[in-house]
Structures are given as structure tokens and as C-alpha cells.
A = this chain, B = another copy of it.
Amino acid sequence: MNAPLPNEVLPTYERRPVPPAMLAALRERFGERCSTAAAVREQHGRDESPFPVTPPDAVVFCESTDEVAFVVQQAAAHEVPVIPFGVGSSLEGHLLAVQGGVSIDLSRMTRLVRLNPEDLTVTVEAGVTREQLNQAVRDQGLFFPIDPGANATLGGMAATRASGTNAVRYGTMRENVLGLTVVTAAGEVVHTGTRARKSSAGYDLTRLFVGSEGTLGVMTEVTLKLYPLPEAVSAAICHFPDVGAAVNATIQIIQMGVPIARCELLDANAVRYVNAQSRLGLREQPMLLMEFHGSEAGVKEQAETVQAITAEFGGADFQWATTPEERTRLWTARHKAYFSGMQSNPGCRSVTTDTCVPISRLAEIIESSVSEADASGLPYYIVGHVGDGNFHLAYLVKDGDEAERAVAERLSMQMVQRAIALEGTCTGEHGIGLHKMGFLLDEAGAGSVALMRDIKRALDPKNILNPGKIFVL
């Protein structure tokens, strides 16, 4: 075993517990919606990362922006941390109360504040999930395309700059948030952006908050772009002799400018796991799962172009999923890959890494990562939003087996370092959290991280907003 990599060492944090006076003020205002019960605190002290549970001192279930402002004002007065919480689906330790403090649960803030179908915009409270949103706008012929695997809240998705399978065509939360309501570190309520599609008015605060992981403000409302449901949608799958061939076909599709809506890679292991859970009967080979949006003719044309490209790269068994039911079945299986992997390996936890590289380097990084993963002997699978150059490699390690976890972590870290060396990023869509602080430094350089710290100190001088995440002050 080698010495620990810098990214394996988590800092030690000093706790800043909630003082009795503050707890009393929260209890007075929120009654039973302020909880210190162990089960509630534990549920709010974890996410989907393999970190140990690190509970906050209290959890407050807020129902309005004003309530959030009240909690943050209390926290500011007492210099106590606050951590915004949606559904707990983040992956890099974002939600752990490393210094104690109050978890602000926004999951009850589920109002659709305003739908403007004629402008293709909607404003929702931060606790609305992506599935709730899509349900609410479907009968207007609209949809919101950003779809991380989990049914996350829009607030959480904005906080981690989430994306998902549709990003290749529709962009990520970066491109799709038009404006925000944010509670600042002083407990003041500010609004960023407008409902106009573009603006040159001052600093882009919206995009500064998007991806800031709760460290610069608590987002309570999010204004989003919507899209008309496409006239025609069709999905297709295609199998390849190896992962490299699938990736090279993807590179060609993107370079040709095909406006493909989704282009997902599943390696043979991922196919096996989703087969086992969802009974899809797919050929257990690397495959691309693709979707085309447009007019009837446009979809047909895109699909023909793509079929020709995949054939060039040894793609076989190009199959259509023409009915909505078939499509839903395939995409549901894809979204469940993470859980399928765990269910196929009982007693295991997933050590997942998320990187994104320039598309021309994708085959290179995936092929070398596959070699390493195969050599490790650990169960693993790869799924990827390969149209963006983004993919995830997940190792399945026995829960509690520190040696296995150490191997998986080390290989994941090597892969992230490789992504950075290839001019990519240490995280395409999961964020930095606790887990990738060292990599942020490797990727952005000390000078850029120093600017981030300067911004953090300026906007949160008492360091109460989700402290200890992204970087340590």
C-alpha cells in the first residue's frame, strides 16, 4: 500500500454547536418543525457518499423563504453553520455537518410559484423535485430536461450544477437556471436574474450561486427554462464489441454535429446489472442508449446518420424503441443503474467517480480506466453521458471492508488525475463536496482557488454557510 494521496486526507473540523439560546429561538418559531431527534439528525447527516454519518445538531423543516431567512439570521447571530438539505441524494459528502450546526430541510417547499408556458419559464420553490416539476408542466406540452439519476430537488440540482442524460442537447443547470431567490449569509433575501432569456446586466450572480454547494447562500426559489415536448421522440440501442468502439462512435456523432438529445454508454457490467434488475434481456456487451428529439422527419434523419456512424465502428443490433413504454423501460433501467449495481452485489457500497474530458480524450481515459478496473478484481461498472465527455466509474466494495474501499478510492483518484491531465475536470456533475477538494486545487490551480476563497469570505464572512465544503477556509 502506497502513502495516502493528498485527496484521501480529509481535514479535521472544529465543531461549532448550536447554543441553547438559538435552539430555544428555533423551537419557539418552528415548534415540532425543529427537531433534535437522533433519527432525524442522522438522516440529515449523510448523503449517498460512503462517508460516515455526521449529523447536525438540529434540523429545521422550513416552509417559506422567510423561514429560511429567520434560521440564517439566527445562525449569523450565533456564528453557527447552516446546511441546506433537499432529498439527500448528493454524492460527495456535501450534506455532512462537519462542524455541527443546523440542517435547513427545504423538502417541504414544493410550491410551483409561477408557470409561464408562453415564455417557456417556470419558478419553483427549491424543494420541488425534477419529477414533480415535469408532472406539473406536462399538460402544457412542456418539459424540463435536466435529469440526474436521483429524483433530486431543483434547489439541490442548482447547488451542485447537476446535469444528466439530456445535457448533450439541452445543457446543464448552468444553462437552464434563469434566476434565483437566495438567502444570504446575513439572512437577507435577494433575487438574481430575470425572466428574460439573456442579460448583460452586471455580475452573473445566478451562475455564481449555481454550483456553489450551499456555501454562498441558501437558494429558496429557482426560475428555470422549459422546453416544448418534442413532436417526435425515438430511442435506439446499439451494441459494440468493446467500450472503445462505443466511445469512438460517440465522438464521431458529436463531431458531425448531430443534435442528439441523449447518448449514454453502459459497459457490459452495467448492462448485466440492469438486465438482472429490470429484466431487459439486453445483450451483455457495451452499448449506447440514444434518444432523438425533433420533428418526425428530423428524428428519422438523425437516427439514420447515427446508425451509419455506429455501423462504421462495429456497432451491431441497432434496435428502435418506438413506443413510449419501451423508451420509458430503457431509461428507467438506465436511471436505476446505480441501484442495480448495488442490488447485484449485496452488502456492497458504491465508490463512484465522475469525470468529464474533452470528447477526443474520452476513449483514452475510459480504456485505461477499464484496464485498471479489470486488474483490480473488484466488481465495477461504467455508465456515461458520453455525448458530453462525462462518465462515471463505480466500484462495488463490501460495506465495512476498508481495504477494498482503499483500493477503489485509489483507482478512482488515479482516474480523476488522468482526467485533469487530459484537460478535463475532476467532476462533470457531482460537485466537490468533501471529497474532491484536493482535486479542485489540482485542476483550477492555487490562484483560482484563492479567488474562490476571497469570494466566499466576502459573501460569508462568518463562514456559516455549509462550511468546510469545496475548500477549507
Contacts and interface: CB of A to CB of B under 8 A. Distances in A.
Given A423-B196, A447-B188, A120 B202 contact: no
A415 interface: no
A356 interface: yes
Interface residues on A, range: 35 or more
Interface string A198-230: 111111110110111000100000000001101
Contact of A195 (B189, B194, B358): B358
Contacts of A294: 259, 298
Contact of A197 (B196, B301, B359, B471): B359
A471 B201 CA distance: 11
A251 B197 contact: no
B196 A424 contact: yes
Interface string A137-173: 0000000000000000000000011110001000110
Given A295-B301, A451-B459, A430 B204 contact: no
Contact of A194 (B211, B360, B424): B424
A252 to B, nearest CB: 10
A98 interface: no
A228 B359 CA distance: 14
Contacts of A56: none
Contacts of A445: 190-191
A130 interface: no
Contact of A207 (B208, B216, B231, B259): B208
Contacts of A456: 203
A280 B457 CA distance: 57
19 contacts: A116-B360, A162-B200, A174-B198, A174-B204, A191-B444, A196-B390, A196-B428, A200-B430, A201-B444, A202-B432, A202-B448, A202-B452, A203-B452, A204-B207, A207-B207, A228-B256, A259-B294, A297-B301, A454-B458
A281 to B, nearest CB: 33
Contacts of A423: 194-196
Contacts of A358: 116, 119, 121, 195-197
